[in-house]
Amino acid sequence: MLTLERAHQLLQQHLGANEALRKHSLATGAIMKALAAKFGEPVADWEALGILHDLDFELTRDTPARHALETVAWLRPEGVPEPYLEAIRAHNEATGAVRQDRLSHALAAAESITGLVMACTMVLPDRQIASVKASSLRKRMKEKAFARNVSREAIMECETIGIPLDEFIVLSLAAMAPLQDVLITRAAAA
Ligand SMILES: [Fe+2]
């Protein structure tokens, strides 16, 4: 597996110009790290997977069925093991891949809940991730119009891997809160 340092380098190289995607990737990495710790899996490797999963997003903007496949092609020569490549492929259902293992479900759930955490943060007066209540995020899950692009079904895959939704929400908020200054720009703060 490549190092976290290399993962950050690749993120900068491919998504450095896309601030939103870069933040989404870092947030996904943070949640994957927390999930790995919970499962007793390699934390740095899971964090790297989160950071790297959308690497080809810019390149495949007009060819959504190719999204994730280019990333896999870039990462294989970097020594990223097959289960990690499979999780990347499977996070985009348009590739035809089906999520079958814990790593894949974890990635899908993690990358999806980041959008909801960000949206819940941005509607708060202080725009602090630490101020988002688990109960309000849970309520927002049921509001289809709120952060409508966030797949609630993918978030619910946390339960497929044995983590109740409430626990997953708490874990995700705790994982993202330390990235406050990276994820929420000061200029945007009230
Ligand atoms: Fe993503």
CA pair distance 48, 46, nearest whole angstrom:
5
Residue in 69, 98, 101 with CA at minimum distance from that of residue 85: 69
Q: What is the pTM of this model?
A: 0.96
CB distance 172 to 117 below 8 Å? yes
Q: What number is the average pLDDT over the span 115-119?
A: 97
- How far away, in angstroms, is 51 Cα from ligand 1 center? 9
Q: What is the pLDDT of residues 132-181, one digit of tens each?
A: 999 999 999 999 999 999 999 999 999 999 999 999 999 999 999 999 99
Q: What is the pLDDT of residue 189?
A: 45
In sequence order, which residues have a C-beta less than 8 Å from that of residue 135 and are 6 or more positions away? none
- How far away, in angstroms, is 26 Cα from ligand 1 center? 10
CA pair distance 139, 154, nearest whole angstrom:
16
- How far away, in angstroms, is 110 Cα from ligand 1 center? 9
CA pair distance 120, 138, nearest whole angstrom:
10
CA pair distance 83, 85, nearest whole angstrom:
5
Count of the separate structural domains present in the chain: 1
* Residue 150 DSSP symbol: S
The sign of the torsion formed by the CA atoms of 75, 77, 78, 81 equals positive
- How far away, in angstroms, is 35 Cα from ligand 1 center? 16
pLDDT band at residue 187 using 50, 70 and 90 as cut-offs? low
Q: What is the pLDDT of residue 185?
A: 83
CA pair distance 102, 118, nearest whole angstrom:
24
More confident residue, 49 or 186: 49
Q: Residue 66, SS3?
A: helix
CA pair distance 44, 116, nearest whole angstrom:
24
* Residue 19 DSSP symbol: H
Residues that place a CB less than 5 A from ion ligand 1: 54, 111
- CATH number for 103: 1.10.3210
Q: What is the pLDDT of residues 129-140, one digit of tens each?
A: 999 999 999 999
- How far away, in angstroms, is 8 Cα from ligand 1 center? 15
- How far away, in angstroms, is 124 Cα from ligand 1 center? 24
Q: What number is the average pLDDT over the span 101-112?
A: 98
- How far away, in angstroms, is 126 Cα from ligand 1 center? 26
The H or E element containing residue 63 is: none
The domain of 141 spans: 4-188
Residue in 29, 35, 39, 46 with CA at minimum distance from that of residue 168: 35
CA pair distance 90, 68, nearest whole angstrom:
8
- How far away, in angstroms, is 81 Cα from ligand 1 center? 19
Judged against a pLDDT cut of 60, whether residue 190 lies above it is answered with no
What count of residues does the chain have? 190
Judged against a pLDDT cut of 90, whether residue 186 lies above it is answered with no
